[in-house]
Structure 1
């Protein structure tokens, strides 16, 4: 990837503008409290330049999307691109037939997820969903050893561009083209696994690639679940409090299911963000009327009351505890 052109005032001014924008983003994340539990991530986000990983991105406009590009011949357009690269928002980086297939996640959400992953020195980490490569670079910077980080994505175009971005930024983690649901066993065993794409269930292959006590953090439904792995057959954990919306994991045999009819569900529930979370979490084992009865009876429960258990050949979601009384099966 060629470096973006500097504005007319020169390369020094461009670098200064990027550093200023990055510092502003770090302060904004700091104010959000995202890394209060592990302030070491502030240095990481300060050191790894996001703009090198988003040489272009798309913003929604009336009638479609507008492409912002670091190579735009207009200096004002290049400055808009740079400032946008350091906004605390997700950036659409790859579209196909108008549909989003890859993005750079919201930086403050990424920071919160990385803190929740509880990475420690010497940990071997697998990332599922390479995206732009920025998250892999952040992990490599935090661990101080590129060889401890592996990132996998199904799309060759995504992994190839991520390699270019990572090289431009000076990082060389292992970038693998493959199905994230199958993991990357030859690079394991892993102490931490983080997914940056939404799962419908926990891929069983991942547990076998983890050390005992490993931690898996993944988007599921419209939340983030954190699992502790006991062994190749068992893992369990709860959802974090925050909402999270990610592009679905691609690959494997994961057909989309038709939305279940919502007849009989009151509008106040249909439009409520926490009910939509439950509906998504229960899509394969809980019909909407059952979901509404649970949600109403239990007082519109927050995400952190829900959890996931993987045991043997089965896995299920639950409210308040894995033994019930509210449990339902998860299927991919």
Structure 2
């Protein structure tokens, strides 16, 4: 079979795999509140943004790529590119430094961003460029800015975006500082985990702007009142992301020793969320006591407030008894 015929077969496989992924996200209900996102996921080919990725194997990672001389390996690459799963896209010294998020989670986050036509959006964490392409498809290139600290990541994101026909603004820099030259923004979405809310983001937002970011092991949605105040609650959705890297980000605390706590708490996803959210503010036993007293609270009961120089996480009420200062 000729190389042209093989490429044609791969194109057909990509089309079928993309349609199957869209159907899977549809069934998940991720974009029920804003089905227009379906059009973006139907239009933007994910495989162009992951020309290679890594899968975990015993002792490390195996590279799967679209230029593999073996046809079956290329077919495996296509199928993996359209699986509803996160993909490791950059590994350095055995450590994951960048990934392409699970598409259904991306769809959920984009839906919760509540964009409107004409909104200017800043994305923190360029990744492969796929999320920026989805935003650009919906809003247009001129309204989308994406930033990443790593020049290799922004360079490859630009290449992927160009190959797919999208040209949002791609900036190399510290995402915690925002992109003041492109402000003001109506929406900010982060695709990396935070340990604090950067004040620069609020200052670069229009009043009423919406910020959506991974925080602890959840997703916080903040409504910005002005440059000095924002507040919001967590979504129910669990979320695990590579941390934001930059000079203004404090280091994530080391996991605390939990051996004295009951096993059912140690392994409970919602207890781990509380532990991460209150790290260095509550010791594990205090966190466990609170968790039991409050009937194992779900994520939606927690929130974050930023007011001037102060920022704190809270349970149920920003002015209530359960509040923990953030870095």
TM-score surpassing 0.5? yes
SS in 2 for 1:9: helix
TM norm structure 2: 0.97
Q: Distance in 2 between matches of 1:255 and 1:62?
A: 29
Contact 1:8 1:75 in 2 (8 A): no
**Which of 285, 290, 293 is the equivalent residue of 2:289?**
293
Q: Distance in 2 between matches of 1:7 and 1:198?
A: 42
**Partner in structure 1 of residue 63 of structure 2:** 67
**Partner in structure 2 of residue 150 of structure 1:** 145
Contact 2:195 2:252 in 1 (8 A): no
**Partner in structure 2 of residue 3 of structure 1:** none
Alignment of 1:207 with 2:230, yes or no, is no
**Which of 29, 41, 47 is the equivalent residue of 2:25?**
29
Alignment of 1:216 with 2:211, yes or no, is yes
**Which of 80, 91, 96 is the equivalent residue of 2:92?**
96
**Which of 3, 6, 11 is the equivalent residue of 1:10?**
6
TM norm structure 1: 0.96
Q: Distance in 1 between matches of 2:193 and 2:75?
A: 32
Deviation sequence 1:230-284 (CA, Å, 0-9, x none): 0000000000001000000001142342333336422221111100000000013
5+ residue gaps, structure 2: none
Deviation sequence 1:169-192 (CA, Å, 0-9, x none): 000100000000000010010000
Contact 1:284 1:329 in 2 (8 A): no
Q: Distance in 2 between matches of 1:99 and 1:34?
A: 30
**Partner in structure 1 of residue 180 of structure 2:** 185
Count of residues in correspondence between the two structures: 325
Alignment of 1:326 with 2:327, yes or no, is no
Deviation sequence 1:27-66 (CA, Å, 0-9, x none): 0000000000011011110000000000000011122211
Name segments (4+ residues, structure 1) moved above 6 Å. none
5+ residue gaps, structure 1: 1-5
**Partner in structure 1 of residue 300 of structure 2:** 304
